[in-house]
Structure 1
Amino acid sequence: MYDRFAVQRLIDLWLTEDVGCCDLTVQTMVSPDARGRFDVNAREPMHVAGIEIAAEVFRRYEPRLALDIRVRDGERVGKGAVLMRVEGPAQGILTAERTALNILQRLCAVATETAKYVAAIEGTKARLIDTRKTTPGLRMLEKHAVTCGGGLNHRLGLDNGVMLKDNHIAVCGGIAAALARARRQLPTLTKIEVECDRLAQVEEALAAKADVIMLDNMGLADMRTAVDLVAGRVPLEASGGIRLDTIRAIAETGVDYISTSKITQGAPPVDIGLDEPA
């Protein structure tokens, strides 16, 4: 889910960065009346995210292009799948190619990595959620990619909810005082989450009626104890040091959510190319 108006502004920035004054190679080597037809190909298995955005990059630079989009966001495709066919003025295709592929590769990478983590906790009650550790300028789109891979979004920004971390709590003089102060000023439907790294803090946050409790860098035994202590009264989120090889055991403690930045910061690039049709 993303705002199309905001995406248009981003596309203008991306194209301006890459093209500069003009595409010297294309304008010196390709005649204005030359036409081209190319396929955007998946060169490895992946989950799709951002296909409409990549198409909009081509449209923005050259409105006369004909685009045949073959897949949808959230779809899993195999190696060799044609994601989109682009046909029309060759100058426009070749100039916009890199920008379109860059954003598509980035978003498909996030979706593909997210899907791996989602698969690792399948069959448990836990749901995977993202963090605010995103690429500056791309948060809206990377969080869209997370949902394409089967994950959920945490806060989109600092204005989406209150997260009381250790430094906030220290400044306010404790969890109960921090919660009370936040509630006096918050919009009615805004939730408050409290970060806890000790079981005593979990008890304090529960007594102060936090809406969500984060278990920050806790061991498995303490997580299980926290789950028993809370007994379903508020959602529990596990966070900190989450990896693909550890997430299953964390999910099996009984927490409701698991958040990790690995699905955005650690997503390895996927290989997508623009090739002439076979």
Structure 2
Amino acid sequence: MSYSHLLPPSWKSQVTVWLQEDTPSFDYGGFVVGEAEKTAFLLGKGKETAVLAGVPFVDEIFAQLGCTVEWHMAEGETFEPIKRVATITGKARFLLLGERVALNLLARCSGIATKSRRFRDIARSNGYKGVIAGTRKTTPGFRLVEKYGMMVGGIDAHRHDLSSMIMLKDNHIWSCGSISNAIATARQAGGFSLLLDVEVRTEAEADEAIEAGADVIMLDNMEGDLLLQTARRLREKWSGKRFLLETSGGIEENNLRERAVNEIDILSTSAVHQSVQHIDFSLKIQKSS
């Protein structure tokens, strides 16, 4: 299975924009090195076991520069530093034109995949069978790469944009006057094909959302015994209704186990993609023999 098959037709044009941004006028360093054919090693460094993610983006960066990439491991596999993860061949100035764009992308995408894999493994080791998901708190212009990293890491990317699922949060509800009003209006516009996820702060708000027909109930910032008992009571009270329960807000590695309880269907967190530790990579052109 290759996650690259999910990428939309438009994504390659974004690579062109990245290259244009990095070299908007003269390439002074490229002038120095010229166009001799060279081989470069892509090295995975850092201090910890990491997940490789971002392969199709790196391939396209160097393809647009007339270089070829040979990967020595599959995307989604883990590696220990220092590992030669790929060999790249091409003209020296084009290798260097792609170097920083590729390394920056690979560092962030792999960092997200690594953190996502760690969250998934912690939850599974705790016996959690539900969905671990990211959030929409992504970097403008870089969402596709960040969501891709989550998926390679083995978690759910959650909604990709405002159009892919209806999520009603506190501001939507306050603007409409009530949860029921917000749900009714959203359902009228979104029809049957979009799931409706509603953020609630109390059990009473959850009751209102379930009764009004929400598909997913996000129990925002509930923790510990309150989260567990609320989830159990909701399932008992509304046993004839179909809905999913989601927990979100303040979830980190140090409290993941207490939130990853099987009474909850979805655990969503921005900790897997915001402020993650990037994975260190470097590109080393080999000296001619």
2:114/2:153 contact within 8 Å kept: yes
Asked whether the 8 Å contact 1:223–1:253 carries over to 2, the reply is no
Partner residue, 1:243 = 252
Q: Per the alignment, in what secondary structure is the counterpart of residue 199 of structure 2?
A: strand
Give the Å deviation of 1:200: 0.8
Letter in 2 for 1:273: S
User: Using a 3 Å threshold, how does the CA distance of structure 1 residues 24 and 276 change in structure 2: closer, same or farther?
Assistant: closer
Residues 73-119 of structure 1, C-alpha deviation per residue, up to 9 Å, x if partnerless?
21112212222111121111122111111111110011011111111
3-state SS, counterpart of residue 246 of structure 2: strand
Q: Secondary structure at the match of 2:206?
A: helix
Counterpart check, 1:127 vs 2:131: yes
The alpha-carbon deviation at position 216 of structure 1 amounts to 0.3
Work out which of the residue numbers 118, 121, 128 in structure 1 matches 2:120: 118
The C-alpha deviation readout for 1:143-163, integer Å capped at 9, x for no partner, is 010011111011100001111
Structure 1 residue 208: Cα displacement: 1.6
In the superposition, the TM-score normalised over structure 2's length comes to: 0.90
Q: What is the distance in 2 between the residues matched to 1:42 and 1:4?
A: 28
Asked whether the equivalents of residues 128 and 257 of structure 1 are also in contact (C-alpha less than 8 Å), the reply is yes
Q: Please report the TM-score for the alignment, with normalisation by the length of structure 1.
A: 0.93
Q: Following superposition, which runs of at least 4 residues in structure 1 exceed 3 angstroms of deviation?
A: none
Shift of residue 66 of structure 1?
2.7
CA distance in 2 between partners of 1:218 and 1:250 (Å):
9
Structure 2 gaps of 5+ residues are none
Partner of 2:18: 14
1:13 Cα deviation (Å)? 1.2
User: Residue 199 of structure 1 contacts residue 222 of structure 1 at CA under 8 Å; is this kept in 2?
Assistant: no
Q: Determine the C-alpha separation between the residues in 1 that align with 2:73 and 2:234.
A: 43
Residues 187 and 207 of structure 1, relative CA distance in 2, 3 Å threshold: closer
Mapped to 2, the partners of 1:125 and 1:214 lie a distance apart of 18
Paired with 2:29 and 2:41, the residues of 1 have a C-alpha distance of 21
Query: In the alignment, which residue of structure 1 is the partner of 2:281?
Result: 272
Q: For residue 238 of structure 1, give the secondary structure of its aligned residue in structure 2.
A: strand
Aligned partner of 1:31 in structure 2 is: 34
The superposition leaves residues 188-233 of structure 1 with CA deviations (integer Å, 9 ceiling, x where unpaired) of 2111111011111111112222100001011322211222123274
| 8 Å contact kept, 1:125–1:255 | no
Match of residue 258, structure 1, among 254, 258, 267: 267
Give the match's secondary structure for 1:104.
Answer: helix
Q: CA RMSD in A?
A: 1.7
Deviation, structure 1 residue 4 = 5.1
What's the secondary structure of 1:136's corresponding residue?
Answer: coil
- Percent of pairs identical after alignment? 32
Q: 2:156 aligns with which of 144, 152, 171?
A: 152
Residue-pair matches, total = 274
- Is 1:108 aligned to 2:117, yes or no? no
- On the 8 A contact 1:110/1:263 being kept in 2, the answer is yes
Aligned-partner Cα distance in 2 for 1:5–1:18:
23
